[in-house]
Amino acid sequence: MSLFVIPARVLQSLILFSSCLPDDMSSTPSLVYLATTATYLLSSVILELCTLRFASMGSPTNCDPRDAVATIVKAKTLFMYPLLAVNVVFGCVVVSQVRCGPTVFFRLLPPALLITQVFELLSSICCYYSLIGRRTDDPHLGGGMGARSRLGVEHLDSKWEKRCRFLCKCSGFFTCFLFGGTDEGGNNDFAMVARVLSDYFEDDGNLDIVPSDVAAGLICLRHVQKAKEWGGRNSRRGAKYWYRVANKTVLDPSTPSDVSALDEVARFARHALAIYTWMLYVYMDPLCGTCKLCSVRCCRMHAKKKYSGETCCSLHGAALLAQAKLDESELAYAHFGNSIVENPYCIIIDHKWRSVVVSIRGTLSLEDCITDALTETVHLEELGRRWGFDGKGEYAHHGMVTSSEWIRSDLDKHKTLDKLMLEENAPFRDYQLRVVGHSLGAGCSLFLALMLRNKFPNLRCLPFSPPGGLVSIRTAKAVSPWTTSCILNTDIVPRLSLESMEHLRDETLELISRIKVNKMRVLKSAMLGPNGSDRQDFVDEILHRSPPPSEFLAQLEHFKEVQRRVRDERGRVDVSLYPPGRIIHFVKTEESKWCGRSGKWCGGRKREYTPMWCDNDAFTEIVISPSMALDHFPDRVCCTIEGVAKGWGIDVSPGSKLHSGDGSEGSGEHWGQQSGGNPRGLESPTQTDKLMEQNVV
C-alpha cells in the first residue's frame, strides 16, 4: 500500500514547496521540515522497494529467504518513525508560516500534508501497540504460554468487548452516525459478540500469520473451487456453468406452481427493498434520488402519525413510498427506529395481491451488525410454547429471535394487524398476511411468521437472502409449505454460519500450509490468473498436494488443539443451522461484457440467471467469488428476480392500485385468493386514511 501512498505524497510535497514558500526560508524550522520531509519520503521509497523485493522470496511457510525483512522493519522502527515524529513537530510550526497562492487548493495543501503525516504516525503507533500486546515471551508472564492460558478466558472476553465497543464508537463518529453507532447496547450483547470473536481467533499466541497470508490463502481457495467447478463442467458435455447444488431442480415456465412461486417472490421483492428507506434509494439513484424524494415528500405525504422514528424531513417515508410506487393510503404503519434489538419495519396494503405485508429491514446500521454477530444459538422450545409452534429440540440465531420478539411486541402494542384484519369492522379481513424481509430482515421475518401463524393461519413468509445460520434443519423444512426463500448466485450471507466460518478459516489455513510459491505470485493471480482448463494445472503449480513438514504446520496443529480446548471450556454444542423453507436459487448462467442502458443496474454487464429449487443444506460452503458481497445487495436481488420474472412473461410492475390499466387485480389468484371487486369496507382512500391514523398509540 505504501508504494501507492508515497508517490502521491511526493507529488503533494513538490506542489507544496514549489507553490508555497515560508516567509523566512532560512529559518531553522523551515529548513528542518524541508530536510526531514525529503529524507523521510526518499527513505520510505527505498525501504518499501527493499521490503517488496525480499518479501517476494520463499513461500508463506518458508520464511528463511525473508530474514532481511526483519532488519528492514527494525530500521523503520528505529529511524523512520522518530524522523516522522520530528517532521510532524516542525511541520506544525512551518504550516503557520506558509504564504500560499490565491486559490483554496494551495491554501489547503500544507495542512493536508501535515494531517497525512500525523495519521501515519498515529496508525503506526497503534499497529506496534497491538503487536506488543501479542507478545508471548515475557518472562514475568509464564514463558511461551498463550494469553488465554496466562490471563484466563474472562480477561480475553473483556478485551474483545472493549475492542467491539471502541470500533462501534469510531465507526459511528467517522460516518457522522449516519449508519448508527449511538446505541451502546446491553452488556450481554457485546459480551456475546466478544465471546464469538475471542473463540474464533484464539490461537494461544502461537500462529505466525499476517493479513497477506490470509489473502493468499483465500485466493488459493478461489482457484481450488474454480478448478472443481471446471472439472464438473467438463463432465457435463461442455455446460457453460456448473454448480455443486444438492438435488437441484430448474423451475419450469410450463409448470403452474413454478410460475406462481416466481410470480409471488417477484411481486414482494420490492416490498422488502422499500423498507431500506432513503439511504439505499439515493445509492440506487445518486443523481436524481434526492430531488425525487423531495417531490414525494411535498406531494404525497400528509399523515405523519403513521410513522415512528422518522427523520425531521420525513425522508424515510418518502423513500419507502417512492421505491415501492405506493400511495400514502397504502402504507398503514412504519417504524424507523433502530437499536440492537429494535428493527425498522412497515405494514403495506397490497390491493393487487389482496395482501397485508409486513416488511422488515435488513442490515444497514452498526446496531444491525451487532445483531447479526449475536450468533450463539437459542432454544426455541420456550418460544414455541408461548406462540404455539413446535420448538422442542430446535435451535435458532439468538440476535434475530430477539429482534423478531420486539417486532411482535410492537405489533401487539399498536394492535395494527388486529385493526386491519381481525376486528369486526376491519377493512381487510379477507386479505392474506405476508411477512417479507431481506438479510437480517429475512431472518426476523421467519421467526415473526412463526409467532403470528397461530393468529393468521393463511400467513406466508418470503425471506430474501436469508442468513445461513438461522434455524435447525427440522424447522427449516417444516415451514416449507408457507415459506419461500430466495438466494442470488454466490451470495455469502446465506452461506454464513458459525460452522461455515470455522470451516473457511481451517480450509484457508490448510491451503496456506500447502503454498509452494511466493505470495506475490499468488496475489497477482487474483487479477492475472488462469482461465478454463488451465486452472487445475495452475493449482498443481502453486500448491503441494499435502502440507509439507514446516514450523507453520506444527503451529497449525497446535491451533487445532487450542480450538478443541476452547470448545470444551465453553461447553459449546455444535448445532448446524440452515436457511428456511423452499429455496429458489437464482444461478448465473450467462454473462456478457456490456448490455447498454438496460444493464445499468448490474454494473454495465448483462447477466442471465436461472431459478432452481434447492435443498436447505445446499449452502453449507462459502464460495469465494468477486460477486459474493454484491449478490447480497437488496437492489441487485430485487432487480434480478424481477428480470427473471419478466423473461417468463410475468407482470412485475410495482404499485398497488385497486384498478390496473387492464382491469386486472394482479396475481393473487395463484395462491387461492379472490380476484376482482372492492375490498370490504374500502369505499375511498380517505376512509382508509382515517383507519390508518388510529393505528399509532
Cα→Cα distances 64→56, 210, 519, Å: 12, 16, 14
d(CA 552, CA 560): 12
Weakest-pLDDT range from 104-108, 348-352, 373-377, 675-679: 675-679
Whether residue 242 is predicted with pLDDT greater than 70 in this model: the reply is no
Q: Domain boundaries in the chain?
A: 2-135, 152-223+498-570, 249-272+305-311+327-495+577-692
The mean pLDDT of 44-51, rounded to a whole number, is 81
- How is residue 624 annotated by DSSP? P
Whether residue 239 is predicted with pLDDT greater than 60 in this model: the reply is no
Res 636: pLDDT: 95
Report pLDDT digits (tens) over 644-686: 999 999 999 887 665 343 333 344 444 434 333 333 333 344 4
Cell 457435463: give the residue.
Answer: 236
Whether residue 602 is predicted with pLDDT greater than 70 in this model: the reply is no
The mean pLDDT of 18-43, rounded to a whole number, is 67
The mean pLDDT of 247-259, rounded to a whole number, is 90
Cell 429494535: give the residue.
Answer: 342
d(CA 508, CA 513): 9
Res 241: pLDDT: 47
d(CA 402, CA 406): 6
Res 306: pLDDT: 73
Res 405: pLDDT: 96
- Rg over alpha carbons for the chain, rounded to the nearest Å, is 29
Whether residue 300 is predicted with pLDDT greater than 60 in this model: the reply is no
Res 657: pLDDT: 60
Percent of the chain surpassing pLDDT 90: 42
Q: Which of 237-251, 407-421, 664-678 has the highest mean pLDDT?
A: 407-421
Whether residue 692 is predicted with pLDDT greater than 60 in this model: the reply is no
| pLDDT class of 431 with cuts at 50, 70, 90 | very high
Res 187: pLDDT: 65
Res 675: pLDDT: 34
C-beta neighbour count of 221 within 10 angstroms: 19
d(CA 534, CA 530): 6
Mean of all residue pLDDT scores within the chain: 80
**According to CATH, what is the number of the domain 249-272+305-311+327-495+577-692?**
3.40.50.1820
Whether residue 588 is predicted with pLDDT greater than 60 in this model: the reply is yes
Report pLDDT digits (tens) over 175-198: 888 888 887 666 678 888 888 988
The mean pLDDT of 428-436, rounded to a whole number, is 96
Res 5: pLDDT: 54
Whether residue 99 is predicted with pLDDT greater than 80 in this model: the reply is no
Closest CA to 160 of 200, 121, 128: 200
Res 11: pLDDT: 63
Q: Which residue has the higher pLDDT, 655 or 454?
A: 454
Residue count of the chain: 697
The mean pLDDT of 453-474, rounded to a whole number, is 96
Res 462: pLDDT: 98
**Contact between residue 415 and residue 375 where contact means Cβ atoms under 8 Å apart:** no
Report pLDDT digits (tens) over 507-529: 999 999 999 998 888 988 888 77
